[in-house]
Structure 1
């Protein structure tokens, strides 16, 4: 005997909405645009930032199917004197954004150090992020080809160039990161 509601329709199976929390570390040298990228994601606006001291923490929600996913964003100061915090703070990270400024070669060259620090203490999904894409025409010193070589050498999941000024690829970075984490963790949706 089948049951139906008052309209004669079969009842829909309801799956309770579950919240997931993913710790995301955002790392790279000071001044590459990490904090500005986070502010753009959270507010939808370009807000110039000063250098981060220590760590900033923020949360952002993404809904995928019927699941609300909370991204806990750990924005690390890029100065060398704060790097000793990173091993402890990066433990348990599900995702890492390795950020560099496409107009400053030194920030790209330092990515190996950032990668190694985080990789030793967690097994995250890595995304390579070239910040300040809006400067590409006049000031680019790190080519997309250089970035893709780095991505391949370190087996990094994805590579994006972003602009916090224009909003280019900001949302896409975080959405793709979330999907990759779900796939890696084999979380059913």
Structure 2
């Protein structure tokens, strides 16, 4: 029969302490992971990111059009839209196509920045503000570039978030109140 020495008891005690610590750490990290994975704020943040990505891509699509590949561009417009906006695009497509073919322009856009201004997950509605740089390149003329701020309304559809409205954001400065004499 082997004798247990003081040194062996110390090693055993340290091993048990290390095992208890490892077990406690594993339990803590597991519970932290579970809480984070089931947290509503994480899911909301993910939805917000999806809305912003969809809004930026849709605004980019709606401000990019090449007369040489018009069908593809107009199809991208329709794929980015829903509701009344989609109805308006379809209704005016033939006339708009004729105008672009006549003008022979190439319009490209670049998203500078974007933000979600509103998000109602229950109703499936969202709002975005997108800053863009839009370049129009007409034939035989110098291209012109402008920066624009757009307000977009998005609606959740079975195919993802799509634009249901798009317009210019108000620009200008707020009036300054003059002190009364």
Q: Which has the larger radius of gyration?
A: 2
TM-score in terms of structure 2 length: 0.23
Structure of greater relative contact order (alpha carbons < 8 Å, 6+ residues apart): 1
Higher strand fraction: Structure 1 or Structure 2?
2
Query: What's the TM-score, normalizing by structure 1?
Result: 0.23
Looking at secondary structure, tell me which structure has more helix per residue: 2
